[in-house]
Amino acid sequence: MKFESVLEDLTTRGNLRQIPADSTDRADLLDFSTNDYLGLAADQMLRREFVNKALQDDSMMMSSSASRLLAATQRHHEALEDCLARMYGGGRKALLFNSGYHANTGILPAVSDKSTLIIADKLVHASLIDGMILSRCDFRRFPHNDIETLERLVRANADRYETIVVAAESVYSMDGDRAPLEEIAELKMKYNNLLLYLDEAHAFGIDGPDGLGLAQGSRYPELWDIVIGTFGKAAASSGAFAIVAPKVRELLVNRSRSLIFSTALPPMQMAWTQKIVELLPYLEPKREHVRVLAKKLSDTLSLFTNSHVNASHIQPLIVGDAKRAVELSKALLEKNVKVLAIRTPTVPAGTERLRFSLSAAMTDNDIDRLRNALESVI
């Protein structure tokens, strides 16, 4: 069968994926594989406090049982959207999506047509790539963080398209590096048909003022037309949101297929998410702790590579070979350190890696444990 040959080829190249076994029962495991940047997902006190309250509220149902356009229970969704809109300000509105993938694959087609060109950074997430494909409009890619090439593409196409959407991420998920947000925003001052689209999935909660992302702390936050954040990482929940102008929100409610045709997130989940979002302004000590850990992790990983490693809450150790990355991941797991191998097509061939994610629940001693484990397997 064709399926068998595909699987055989993936195995030969070291790219066969499997869902990892549950490891939550291993109390001694040091886990660098999750995106729980603030360490809130395992906070038992927060969870107990919320559950006790939820048991007293009959409106916190376990399922919405319908899409947002049909569901009877909306109060928790609306309360969370109002909360986000107040926090971001500027007269903008929030709209919830079931995931970051739903947001990116639903919004880009909704705001695009044949008169639209999308120009995206070469390293944007797969969900943005799929959103571009579903948009059925022309799109181009520019080399990662290359503002000169981006402006050249914009200049060459500014008169050919009614709208040019420039899509980027604020923190890139595989390298942890940042986009030059101010330089991108300044392009909008020069070309009046630009629509700026920013995915803050790996920044929301952990970066920017009150954890609201890097655009919010940049010089021109108001120039970013569509800002995407997700709850499944630093916010210890699930789902996503878009911060947009009121008219754009109205358009998305009418044209975003991933919103219209998906069962809405459970009301109880939305209530939990609002609890976490309201906590974010008070969690700066956790964010600072992660920044301190990031410097120590960067120093540690730099010992095992010839290239500089950015001090970020996401850091890679480039291996350059899929099979070797998997071998190192397995060897580290035997040392009670969990870090997963990232391979093609998630990253370009030749840049296969171990990807380390930090959590505020970690300590300096945990980074020392990692260094000892790396020394024993590399």
Residues classed as catalytic: 35, 125, 169, 173, 199, 202, 233
Distances in Å between the Cα of 295 and the Cα atoms of 138, 211, 292, 310, 317 are: 41, 19, 5, 8, 15
Distances in Å between the Cα of 126 and the Cα atoms of 67, 69, 103, 155, 293 are: 25, 27, 12, 26, 28
Backbone region of residue 275 per phi and psi (left: phi > 0; alpha: psi in -120 to 50; beta: other values): alpha
Read off the tokens for 305.
């590579």
Nearest CA-CA partner of 197 in 105, 114, 68: 105
Euclidean distance between CA atoms 320 and 162, whole angstroms: 42
Query: Quick one: CA torsion of 172, 173, 176, 177, rounded to 10 degrees?
Result: -10
Integer Rg of the chain from CA: 21
- Sign of the Cα torsion 54, 57, 58, 64 reads negative
Asked if residue 159 lies in contact with residue 151, where contact means CB atoms within 8 angstroms, the answer is: no
Q: Where are the alpha helices (DSSP H) in 166-238?
A: 181-190
Read off the tokens for 113.
């047509």
- Reported as type and span, the H/E element at residue 371 is helix 364-377
DSSP string, 83-112: HHHHHH-TT-EEEEESSHHHHHHHHHHHT-
Read off the tokens for 210.
């009150």
Residue at 313: amino acid letter: H
